[in-house]
Amino acid sequence: MEDDANESTLGSGSLPASLSRAIVDATAHSFVIIDAEGTITYASTSVHQLSGWLPADLVGHNMIQFIAPGDRERALTAFAEMDEATSGTLNLPIVFEALRPDGQPIWLEIGAMRYTELSDIGDFDGTVFRLRGWSHNHHFNLFLEALLSSQPFPDVAAPLCESIRLALFAQGALLHHGFDGSRFLGADGTGVPRSCAPIDEGPWRQAALEGRPVFATVADLPPRARLAAEDPGYQAIWCVPVEDTEGRVRAVLSVWRTAPGPPQLGESAGLEVQARYAQLAVRRWAEHQRLIHIAGHDSLTGVANRISFRDCLAEALSIGEENIAVAFCDLDSFKPVNDTYGHQTGDRVLVEVAGRLRKALRTGDELARLGGDEFTVLMRNVPDAEAAMALAERLIAATSEPFDADGHPVEIGISIGVALVREPISADEILALADNALYAAKAKGGNRAHVSEA
């Protein structure tokens, strides 16, 4: 049995000092010890994996110089509080932004205990810091902030994928989103060049179509993507499908690693957890988009509603868009359809009216339903009254064929008033001008258009 000087008490037993030091160096947590002046006197071996700094590069330097400049004042306050603490007082961990040797930021959770005397080593005056990686939690918090504030999806996916990458010790992560059963809308994330991940070719598409995880290698990528992925050294790509609330695959999480092979048991559990976070992002984003659509669209016809139309017109005016026109459209003989065949049939006719009007419009024109049998159109690139009349006549022609009312053909007709904007005026003035033009068309017998210029 070795003497006490070479042993370390641990729990109810004892360990040789060399083994105790080896356990400290190998633990997932890293440790540093600083003296009363804040100088690092010891750093465990695991500090290198955590921060990129070699222990020898830390020892002899002040702890504060490894903290990011923006966090140093807060760190000085925290260290002063620790210095005033009594022996053995545990300070709650605080997250600080620190710097790697290359100047890149990392986030560390730092907790400390101050010791003035340790019975097994004699007099000791210093603070033991426990360091734990917090970067993945930092980026996860950024993801939650972006998600809750309804940021664009790429701004939601980027911090989430960075958090996933760090949590799984991977080199890249992507969220392939907007899958409609055949194609993806796009892919956003971190650490993976776009050339490595074509939208609709790769193991992520297989995972989406088959609804199961696919653990692939770079050899499974299309030729060009394979060449692009070999340059950064990727070897394994773990793909996990992400379902919506109805069980349909809407996205796939892909995790890119330079180490070969499928995930082991612990990695599989971690991958499953991260896939749930991806599911949270996809589902909440889809719900947000659904609510936006509901707020801005007519529930019956699916075209824009009054509020959305006014917003669109206001935006066009605010950016100084020229050669725009607003057309008010009112069905001439729609009330008899409701009175004769009922409101359900009338609703079906309105849906068909909206469909015909939409097909008659050009790319860039905006159709909206104001309510009842009234529609409006924001027309762009309308140089003169003749062009405005030609567009209005296209809408009249689109509604000239009879509509089906429970097997009965009915003719409705449409009157259109067009306000052609020649000089800067307000949205209310444009709408009033279009309304007056509509009354003029009605006064002439209906089923025709009238153009007024401002």
Model confidence over 311-356: pLDDT tens digits? Answer: 999 999 988 888 999 999 999 989 999 999 999 999 999 999 999 9
Q: H/E/C letters for each residue in the chain?
A: CCCHHHEEEECCEEEEHHHHHHHHHHCCCEEEEECCCCEEEEECCCHHHHHCCCHHHHCCCEHHHHECHHHHHHHHHHHHHHHHCCCCCEEEEEEEEEECCCCCEEEEEEEEEEEEEECCCEEEEEEEEEEEECHHHHHHHHHHHHHHCCCCHHHHHHHHHHHHHHHCCCCEEEEEECCCCCCCCEEEEECCCHHHCCCCCCHHHHHHHHCCCEEEEHHHCCHHHHHHHHCCCCCEEEEEEEECCCCCEEEEEEEEECCCCCCCHHHHHHHHHHHHHHHHHHHHHHHHHHHHHHHHECCCCCCECHHHHHHHHHHHHHCCCCCCEEEEEEECCCHHHHHHHCHHHHHHHHHHHHHHHHHHCCCCCEEEEEECCEEEEEECCCCCHHHHHHHHHHHHHHCCCCEEECCEEECCCEEEEEEECCCCCCHHHHHHHHHHHHHHHHHCCCCCEEEEEC
Confidence of residue 12 (pLDDT cuts 50, 70, 90): very low
Q: How confident is the model at residue 237 (pLDDT cuts 50, 70, 90)?
A: very high
Does residue 6 have a pLDDT over 90?
A: no
pLDDT in the model for residue 87: 56
Look at residue 35 and tell me whether its pLDDT is greater than 90: no
CATH number at 306-453: 3.30.70.270
What's the mean pLDDT in 42-54? 91
pLDDT, one tens digit per residue, over 64-114 is 999 999 999 999 888 777 666 655 555 678 899 999 999 999 999 988 876
- In this structure, the number of other CB atoms found within 10 A of the CB of residue 180 comes to 10
Task: State the burial class of residue 391 (Cβ atoms within 10 Å of its Cβ: 0-12, 13-18, 19+).
Answer: buried
- Cβ 376 vs Cβ 434: under 8 Å: yes
Q: How many CB atoms lie within 10 A of CB 407?
A: 7
- Same CATH topology for 147-295 and 306-453? no
Which range is least confidently modeled, 29-38, 138-147, 255-264, 429-438? Answer: 29-38
Q: How confident is the model at residue 27 (pLDDT cuts 50, 70, 90)?
A: low
C-alpha to C-alpha distance for 5 and 13, rounded to whole angstroms: 15
**Fold observed for domain 147-295:** Beta-Lactamase (3.30.450)
Q: Does the pLDDT at position 174 exceed 50?
A: yes
For the segment(s) 4-133, the CATH number from 3.30.160.620, 3.30.450.20, 3.40.50.300, 3.30.420.40 is: 3.30.450.20
Q: State the Cα–Cα distance between residues 371 and 330, nearest whole angstrom.
A: 10
Domain boundaries, the chain: 4-133, 147-295, 306-453
How far CA 61 is from CA of 57, 77, 96, in Å, comes to 8, 19, 18
Residues 6+ apart with CB under 8 A from 137: 95, 107, 109, 163
Q: Which residues contact 120 (CB under 8 A, 6 or more apart)?
A: 4, 8, 9
% of the chain with per-residue pLDDT over 70 = 89
Whether the per-residue pLDDT at 10 is higher than 50: the answer is no
Inform me whether the pLDDT recorded for 292 exceeds 90. no
Higher-scoring residue by pLDDT: 422, 2: 422
Crossing angle between the packed helical segments 427-443 and 306-318, to the nearest 10 degrees: 120
Angle 282-206-201 (CA atoms, 0-180°, nearest 5)?
Answer: 90
- Give pLDDT, residue 384: 93
* Confidence band for 372, pLDDT divided at 50, 70 and 90: very high
The pLDDT of residue 92: 72
